[in-house]
Amino acid sequence: MILITGSSGQLGSYLVESIPNSMGLDIEPSKYTKLVWDLRKDPSEILKNYEIDAIIHAAAQVSVVKSVEDPKFDAENNIIGTLNLLEYARKHDIEQFIYISSAAVYGEPQYLPIDEQHPTAPMSPYGLSKLTGERYALLYAELYGLQVASIRPFNIFSPRQDPSSPYSGVISIFVDRAKKGLPLIIYGDGKQTRDFVNVHDVIQLINLVLEKHATGIYNCGTGKATSIDELANIIIELSNKELMIVYDKPREGDIKHSYADISRAKALGFTPTTNLKDDIQRFFF
């Protein structure tokens, strides 16, 4: 049995759907969640009747904004929650532990593309808590022999993003505004770049790590940079509407450029299939 935490979330829900013999756990009930549990508490009790072979830990407090407003809450969820799960894995001889990290651990890039050896300097409590959870997982590998892999996704997109959320991905926000005939708001000059990767590519890499019992850190992206201007124009074209782009002042803490070096993932057999325009049309229009 493969335990998938965060199964009510964007990535976790797709993982439950796509991985055979998997079981979802989350703090909130959903059709993808079999076990409802708060990982800030020891999960041993709720898992006692299950034979768990591997854990994919996708549960997290994912709001950068909320992490800045309440860093203690963020740490309790992302650090203590991870530690509780690692302790369970250690005590029950779990074969594999896959930690879903984030490109937020890198902070402002010192060079591009960003590889796994890039210095880590998070710019938010969220990025720091994800990095701390990752380092705990890798330390458990060293100290206790737990087989650990950490995957650092860049900008995941899927139809299950929530555009009403203040920290949702820019794609779902742009699409939602386009469907309503509203102007697309870009914070900054629009030249900033991101590496947008569809959720199915993230699942592809997780499956490769599972199958090959891979360990260590893996970036998950496309290796391609897309400017926010390019993204906005793609969505305007797909909407078949005459929409304006409005430029607003840059948001504090936003990095200018980011895209992944995915050489390590490719060495496992990872082949990204993301086609931004086609995927946005398929997912949203």
Q: Cis ω on the peptide bond leading into residue 159 (within 30° of 0)?
A: no
Q: Which residues, 6 or more positions from 155, have their beta carbon under 8 angstroms from its beta carbon?
A: 103, 169, 170, 171, 194, 195, 196, 197, 221
DSSP reduced 3-state for 217: strand
Catalytic residue among 88, 126, 140, 259: 126
Instruction: Report the alpha-carbon distance of residue 54 to residue 211 in Å, rounded.
Output: 11
Angle at 213 between CA 207 and CA 215, to 5 degrees: 100
Nearest to 86 by CA among 47, 136, 129: 136
Per the annotation, the verdict on 187 as an active-site residue is: no
Report CA 252 to chain centroid distance, whole Å: 21
Instruction: Report the alpha-carbon distance of residue 275 to residue 231 in Å, rounded.
Output: 12
Instruction: Report the alpha-carbon distance of residue 254 to residue 104 in Å, rounded.
Output: 11
Cβ–Cβ under 8 Å, residues 5 and 26? yes
Element containing residue 14 per DSSP (H, E):
helix 10-18
Cβ–Cβ under 8 Å, residues 35 and 25? yes
What positions carry a catalytic annotation? Answer: 126
